[in-house]
């Protein structure tokens, strides 16, 4: 299904659901792969996280609310740290960033990747050691670059010749020699189970490999001698389950490493293969474990380095979604249930595309469960939709909920830790939800709910 700009009547209509979605034997059952590790259904039928009932969370913090399982997030940090003990693991802050999460990932020994001045400000205000911060972005301003240099960030991933000139001038003014990586567009685009290895250099990120821009960027930095070129960076996509795209990417970027060595006599000591590791949003998804990722990425790099007669560079990766995505679910309250005479049943909740734009923007699939109680009713194929004035305001396209779902029920949607709060908006002047972290049966507010007063405070007219 894709929303149509002319309205719902023009959209793809089907009441059968996708082929992979099966009618559950028990509509109350929770699929463990989709939920934070501490989530259970209690004896009273309500979903609980770290021992705390969602009823209590809703009563204290209201709905909609993003619920973060702190122990789950920390355990996923540790899983990556254990799988990549000699490599650098950068948490990709664009997935979700707030000061509490910065402190969590810092305490778990991870590095942090930011891509705007606002993300950098959040990281620094939370006490992240600047030497453990990497700075991405295709259009960093002079002010942003200057702030990064003044703060002493550990590395800057340069993305254009203009940025190299800007950063070089700023470094000369300050008498510093910042560490940089060159972002390389390798001609590989990977998403979910597929990757394409050609004709994907038409994008705003990085320096083209095929066109020679990446090599020229590296030569420029080395020849000018102001910036310290540490290595190359490649990021090929998102929600990736197949390592084949990384194999093609590593082969191409390491061939560039060899070209630089042959032309300038320098073996760059670092290589960043980016992130994009997939998670399970529905039962059709089967993500790799960090241990499996580490094994496959090391094998790829070792093999390609041997082929090019290169020393194996120090490797870094950038998981974001894979750490925070499964650690969060969104809790909503049902407002209306509308049965369109057998065409479809719409379950409307008190949030929607302002707190999760990914369904409308990317045609993303999510799951859901009735969270405030258990039910003996038969499974009903439903569509969970939001409250916004938009036919494409869909949270979950197809899901089996109990046939007796009704106004006042709580519905939980798992896998909403990545990009949901980060991409949230005030569409229809709806305030953004809070983020609540739960640990050992206790909940604490880490990002408060926006209010109408917040919205009006910006309206100076």
Count CB neighbours of 88 within 10 A.
18
Instruction: Cite the annotated binding site for pyridoxal 5'-phosphate by residue number.
Output: 276, 318-321, 419
User: Which candidate in 77, 305, 389, 420 is catalytic?
Assistant: 389
As given in the structure block, the two tokens for residue 327 are 């650690």
User: For 265-287, how does the pLDDT look when each residue is reduced to its tens digit (9 = 90+)?
Assistant: 999 999 999 999 999 999 999 99
pLDDT (0 to 100) of residue 196: 47
Does residue 38 have a pLDDT over 50? yes
Name the band, by pLDDT with cuts 50, 70 and 90, for residue 18.
very high
pLDDT (0 to 100) of residue 240: 84
Q: What CATH topology corresponds to 32-62+327-455? A: Lyase, Ornithine Decarboxylase; Chain A, domain 1 (2.40.37)
Q: What are phi and psi of 6, to 5 degrees?
A: -85, -5
- Please report where in the chains the tokens 């020393």 appear, as a residue: 311
**Alpha-carbon gap, residue 364 to 397, rounded angstroms:** 9
User: For 200-233, how does the pLDDT look when each residue is reduced to its tens digit (9 = 90+)?
Assistant: 566 788 899 988 999 999 999 999 999 999 999 9
Residue range(s) occupied by CATH 3.20.20.10 in the chain:
70-322
Determine whether 1 is exposed, middle or buried from the number of CB atoms within 10 Å of its CB (0-12, 13-18, 19+): middle
Q: Is the pTM of this model over 0.85?
A: yes
Cβ atoms of 314 and 301 within 8 Å: the answer is no
426: helix, strand or coil: coil
Residue range(s) occupied by CATH 2.40.37.10 in the chain:
32-62+327-455
Judge whether 305 counts as a catalytic residue.
Answer: no
pLDDT (0 to 100) of residue 4: 47
User: For 224-249, how does the pLDDT look when each residue is reduced to its tens digit (9 = 90+)?
Assistant: 999 999 999 998 878 888 778 888 88
| Domain 70-322 annotated CATH 1.10.260.40 | no
Helices and strands (DSSP H and E) totals, the chain = 12, 24
What share of the chain has pLDDT > 90, as a percent?
Answer: 86
Instruction: Cite the annotated binding site for substrate by residue number.
Output: 321, 358, 362, 390, 419
User: For 358-407, how does the pLDDT look when each residue is reduced to its tens digit (9 = 90+)?
Assistant: 999 999 999 999 999 999 999 999 999 999 999 999 999 999 999 999 99
pLDDT (0 to 100) of residue 192: 53
**Alpha-carbon gap, residue 107 to 110, rounded angstroms:** 8
Smallest CA-to-CA distance from 322 within 396, 234, 246, 415 is with: 415
pLDDT (0 to 100) of residue 2: 45
């Amino acid at each position: 299904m894709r929303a149509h700009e002319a309205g719902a009547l023009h959209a793809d209509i089907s009441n059968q659901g996708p082929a992979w979605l099966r009618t559950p034997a028990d509509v109350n059952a929770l699929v463990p792969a989709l939920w934070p590790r501490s989530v259970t259904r209690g004896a009273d039928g309500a979903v609980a996280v770290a021992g705390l009932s969602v009823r209590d969370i809703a009563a204290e913090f209201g709905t909609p609310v993003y619920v973060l399982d702190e122990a789950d997030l920390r355990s996923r940090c540790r899983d990556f740290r254990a799988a990549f003990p000699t490599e650098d693991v950068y948490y990709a802050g664009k997935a979700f960033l707030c000061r509490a999460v910065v402190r969590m990932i810092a305490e778990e020994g991870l590095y942090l990747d930011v891509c705007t001045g606002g993300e950098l400000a959040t990281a620094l205000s939370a006490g992240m050691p600047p030497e453990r911060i990497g700075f991405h972005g295709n259009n960093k301003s002079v002010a942003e670059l200057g702030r990064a240099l003044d703060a002493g960030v550990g590395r800057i991933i340069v993305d254009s010749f203009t940025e190299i000139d800007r950063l070089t001038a700023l470094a000369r003014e300050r008498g510093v020699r910042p560490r940089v990586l060159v972002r390389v567009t390798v001609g590989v685009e990977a998403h979910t189970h597929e990757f394409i290895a050609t004709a994907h250099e038409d994008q705003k990120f990085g320096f083209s490999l095929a066109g020679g821009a990446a090599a020229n960027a590296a030569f420029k930095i080395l020849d000018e001698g102001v910036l310290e070129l540490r290595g190359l960076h490649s990021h090929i996509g998102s929600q990736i389950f197949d390592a084949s795209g990384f194999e093609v990417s590593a082969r191409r970027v390491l061939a560039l490493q060899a070209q630089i060595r042959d032309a300038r006599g320098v073996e760059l000591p670092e290589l960043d293969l980016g992130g994009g590791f997939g998670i399970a949003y529905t039962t059709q998804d089967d993500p790799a474990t960090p241990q499996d990722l580490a094994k496959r990425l090391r094998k790829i790099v070792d093999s390609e380095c041997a082929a090019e007669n290169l020393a194996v560079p120090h490797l870094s990766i950038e998981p974001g979604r894979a750490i925070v995505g499964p650690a969060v679910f969104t809790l909503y309250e049902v407002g209306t249930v509308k049965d369109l005479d057998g065409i479809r049943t719409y379950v409307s909740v008190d949030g929607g595309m302002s707190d999760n734009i990914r369904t409308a923007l990317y045609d993303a699939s999510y799951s859901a469960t009735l969270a405030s109680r258990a039910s003996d009713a038969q499974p009903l194929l439903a569509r969970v939709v939001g409250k916004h004035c938009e036919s494409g305001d869909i949270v979950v396209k197809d899901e089996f909920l109990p046939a007796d779902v009704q106004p006042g029920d709580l519905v939980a949607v798992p896998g909403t830790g990545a990009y949901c709060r980060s991409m949230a908006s005030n569409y229809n002047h709806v305030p953004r939800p809070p983020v609540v972290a739960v640990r050992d049966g206790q909940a604490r507010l880490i990002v408060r709910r926006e209010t109408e007063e917040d919205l009006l405070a910006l309206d100076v007219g």
